[in-house]
Amino acid sequence: MHIPLRSLQLMRLACLVALAIRWVVPVVSAAGYYVDPASGDMANPGTSARPWSTLEAVFTAGKTFAAGDVIYLRDGYHGEPVVKGKADGAVTITAQPGHKPGLRSLTFDNAAHWIASGLRISPEISGAPGKVILVKINASSRAITLEDCDLYSAGSIAGWTKEDWLARACGGITSFAPATTLRNNRISAINHGIVLNRECVGSRVSRNTIANFSADGIRGLSDDTVYDYNLVKNAFAVDANHDDGFQSWSGGRGGEKVGSGVVKNVTLRGNTFISYTDPDQPLKSRMQGIGCFDGFFENWTVENNLVVTDQYQGIAFYGARNCRIVNNTVIKNPINGHDIAPWLKVTAHKNKSPSTGNTVRNNLVWAMTNAKDIGTEDHNLVSTNPEEHFVNYAGFNFMLIAGSKARDAGSATLAPVLDIDEVPRDAHPDIGAFEYGGGRVATRRQHR
């Protein structure tokens, strides 16, 4: 069939216009809104000159937002907002540059594709301290990101007794939502820093600092989740809870017994867990490091982690299948008077089912107590003489010295490309979390 040239030109023009509309409309439709507790009013349109009042009031008023919208928060107290709404793409709540907005707590309910950043979240900001969960992400939500926020129960815990911890320490972040992302947050003076429940499939917890906490630093119960480059330190013993830097278990919900299920496809990479760093810290907790006690745990990757504690369970898997535990450093805390030393342990499930198909390789540990026939074990170094390996053991510098037997002694098979400080490993990787750094030592992060 013959189509006239003029018709072809018109058809082509129509296609180009349609494509232009497709790409331009989302940009045009995005809007910026402003919220100012000092001068705002909910009768205003939310512009920079005529802002809304508080973030809590914005959602109480039922305001709705579209993908690409940004809500800028100014200095002042923004209440206890409950964020609602499911956009097709990201909607951002953020501090306006130069401002430090404060909230008592933040909840996401029936919400999707929200990013919250640059916020201070604490009951102290409200003038009415009390125990709350600082950030809660409900199961009706998904794809929620919290980044670069400060969460704390109190600005100072000086003089806190056990009773103060029990009465005043808030929960940090608790999520029940898939695709939760938590990154670059600072969480302190807290009871349970980060909790990802079973529903949080496909989540990531990255580069957060959890310092001065009771109970567990991180609880990770969901499949297909990554925990990388987090710092968890300074655990306080305030009750009968067995405190953990990181803890996971299966089951325990909907009538299931704890240990009756499977947690699978989890990565723990480049994290640091230290029980305490101050010899004068009161209420020191002999925190367990990475505690996975009620499996089964399947297809986990545990690499480049540093565990410093004076409790038996340094890295422990009770019921593991096809897990990879490679290039970790597990050592006794230099600040202690205890004889208990941490171990790396892979053993049977508590129901006696064996652990199988695992690889334990290139680990530098104080002790190792694996069960028989757990899989492959090679190129591990057990040592109780830290001065033979570390630059400054007493000063919490756990990088390798040139003469350490861990130097170039690992296997390249399954060794991570980078070490805990993201320094490249060479063709002859060192044993443990740290690759010998040479001249790069000065640029590496401190571990105290």
Strand partners, 69: none
Cβ proximity of 193 and 232 under 8 Å = yes
**Beta-strand (E) ranges in 208-351?**
209-214, 218-220, 225-228, 231-236, 244-249, 263-264, 266-269, 272-274, 288-294, 297-298, 301-303, 306-309, 313-318, 320-321, 324-326, 329-332, 343-347
CATH topology of domain 31-443: Pectate Lyase C-like (2.160.20)
- For the chain, counts of helices (H) and of strands (E): 4, 37
- 90 is written with which tokens? 């990201």
Q: Are strands 397-400 and 390-392 parallel, antiparallel or unpaired?
A: antiparallel
Can you give the length of the chain in residues? 448
What pLDDT, on the 0 to 100 scale, is given for residue 128? 85
- 432 is written with which tokens? 């443990």
Contacts of residue 97, defined as CB under 8 A and 6 or more positions apart, other chains included, come to: none
Q: What is the pLDDT of residues 161-211, one digit of tens each?
A: 999 999 999 999 999 999 999 999 999 999 999 999 999 999 999 999 999
| H helices present in 95-151, as ranges | 123-126
Average pLDDT of the chain is: 92
SS3 125: helix
Strand partners, 268: 227, 302
What pLDDT, on the 0 to 100 scale, is given for residue 29? 65
Q: What is the pLDDT of residues 66-81, one digit of tens each?
A: 999 999 999 999 999 9
For the chain, which residues make up each domain, given as ranges?
31-443
- 342 is written with which tokens? 């941490």
- 293 is written with which tokens? 């006690």
Lookup result for tokens 């202690």: 336
Cα first-last separation, the chain: 77
Average pLDDT estimate for 386-402? 96
Cβ proximity of 155 and 191 under 8 Å = no
Q: What is the pLDDT of residues 236-277, one digit of tens each?
A: 999 999 999 999 999 998 889 999 999 999 999 999 999 999
CA distances from 269 to 300, 357, 446 (A): 10, 20, 17
Q: What is the pLDDT of residues 212-232, one digit of tens each?
A: 999 999 999 999 999 999 999
DSSP-assigned states of every residue in 191-207:
EEEEEE-TT-TT-EEES
Residue 301: other Cβ atoms inside 10 A: 18
